[in-house]
């Protein structure tokens, strides 16, 4: 997968997430990376965290595709304008709208048309008037410069071929003094080639994961300041997934901590007032 051209990666990811959009949380969460992977079912969602305790949570919008709870750490205030990049069926956007209130606004951006349609249906059914969903690519976000107070994203940047471009676009749309809270998957150590080349693990947010140090370096070089890790937790892949992709020597290295996969939630600010 890592040898594919960026446009090919995007087409492949869009196709997979079109399929996932037509499935339920239960079906998606019952496998390593959405049930389209062909993985054996497991008893828990490997990446996702439980939203049920958060105000504004809408179960029908939760497809189990996240890897953190960025809204919990995003310091959203009443009246804020919030952008959710890779908004899916609207899960994080709906939690954010409960925080920003009727005087604020949440704009969800997703490049899978079926996801955008699903989110719009959910919003209309619930009568939400302070949230909208737009079709767009986060390498070219359809929002004005300096227009957003807070950016959210949940397990999406690792799917983007040009992560530097995605963070530059995030910087562009934020107001001076604005900030982001992004949950994502990163790695420690060099992941085996079998992971890097797997299309299905790319959809599961594993194959596209950067080293944590590289990920944070991109954020800093983009110009963000006050960068901090708000949360970090290891991701334990099911045994059947490891056996499918790892040699015996790679398995020993993985178990000894030679490399690993982590969910992180990162905070950073755009300089300004």
Q: Residue 250 belongs to a domain with what CATH number?
A: 3.40.50.150
pLDDT at 37: 42
Q: DSSP E strands: which ranges in the chain?
A: 81-85, 105-110, 131-135, 148-154, 174-188, 210-211, 225-234, 260-269
Measured CA to CA, the distance from residue 40 to residue 195 in angstroms comes to 17
Number of domains into which the chain is organized: 1
* Helices 91-100 + 113-126 axis angle, to 10: 40
Cα–Cα dist 96/84, whole Å: 9
Domain assignment present for residue 25? The answer is yes
The neighbour count for residue 194, using CB atoms within 10 Å, is 14
1 within some domain: no
The reported pLDDT for the residue numbered 31 is 39
According to DSSP, the β-strands at 225-234 and 81-85 are: unpaired
Cα–Cα distance measured from residue 177 to residue 246, given in angstroms and rounded to the nearest whole number? 45
- Please name every residue paired with 134 in a beta bridge, in sequence order, or none if there are none: 109
1-23 mean pLDDT:
67
Cα separation, 8 vs 41, in Å, equals 28
**218-245: average pLDDT:** 89
3-state secondary structure of 120: helix
Most confident of 29-33, 145-149, 235-239, 241-245: 145-149
Which pLDDT value is given to residue 245?
74
- Asked if residue 41 belongs to a domain, the reply is yes
Query: Which range, of 25-29, 162-166, 169-173, 267-271, averages the lowest pLDDT?
Result: 25-29
Q: Does residue 23 belong to any structural domain of this protein? A: yes
Arithmetic mean of pLDDT, 244-262: 79
Confidence (pLDDT) at 226: 98
Q: For residue 207, what pLDDT is reported?
A: 59
More confident residue, 86 or 200: 86
- More reliable by pLDDT, 36 or 78: 78
Tens digits of residue pLDDT in 13-63:
777 777 776 665 454 444 334 434 444 332 335 667 888 788 888 888 888
* Residue 224: alpha-carbon gap to chain centroid: 19
The whole-number pLDDT of residue 159 equals 84
Per the structure, the complete domain to which residue 161 belongs is given by 6-269
Look up residue 6 and give its two tokens. Answer: 């960026």
178 located within any domain: yes
How do the residues of the chain divide into helix, strand and coil, expressed in percent and rounded to 5?
40, 25, 40
Tokens of 16: 């997979």
113-165 pLDDT, tens digit each? 999 999 999 999 999 999 999 999 999 999 999 999 999 999 899 888 899 99
**What is the rounded CA–CA span in Å between residue 138 and residue 156?**
9
- 3-class secondary-structure state, position 207: coil
Q: From the CA atom positions of the chain, what is the Rg in Å?
A: 18
pLDDT value, residue 24? 53
């Amino acid at each position: 997968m890592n040898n594919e051209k960026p446009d090919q990666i995007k087409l492949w990811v869009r196709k997979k997430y079109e399929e996932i959009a037509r499935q339920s949380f239960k079906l998606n969460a019952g496998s390593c990376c959405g049930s389209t992977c062909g993985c054996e079912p497991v008893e828990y969602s490997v990446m996702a965290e439980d939203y049920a305790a958060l105000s504004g949570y809408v179960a029908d919008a939760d497809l189990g595709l996240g890897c953190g709870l960025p809204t919990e750490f995003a310091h959203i205030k009443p009246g804020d304008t919030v952008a959710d990049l890779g908004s899916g069926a609207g899960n994080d956007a709906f939690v954010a709208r409960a925080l920003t209130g009727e005087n604020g606004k949440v704009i969800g951006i997703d490049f899978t048309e079926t996801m955008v349609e699903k989110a719009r249906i959910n919003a209309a059914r619930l009568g939400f008037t302070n949230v909208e969903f737009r079709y767009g690519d986060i390498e070219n976000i359809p929002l004005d410069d300096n227009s957003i107070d807070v950016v959210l994203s949940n397990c999406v940047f690792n799917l983007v071929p040009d992560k530097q471009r995605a963070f530059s676009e995030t910087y562009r749309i934020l107001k001076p003094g604005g900030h982001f809270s992004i949950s994502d998957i990163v790695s420690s150590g060099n992941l085996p080639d079998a992971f890097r080349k797997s299309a299905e693990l790319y959809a599961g947010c594993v194959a596209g994961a950067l080293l944590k140090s590289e990920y944070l370096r991109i954020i800093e070089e983009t110009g963000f300041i006050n960068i901090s890790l708000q949360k970090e937790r290891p991701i334990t892949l099911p045994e059947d997934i490891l056996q499918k992709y790892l040699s015996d020597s790679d398995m020993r290295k993985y178990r000894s901590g030679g490399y690993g996969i982590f969910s992180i939630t990162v905070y950073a600010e755009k300089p300004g007032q």
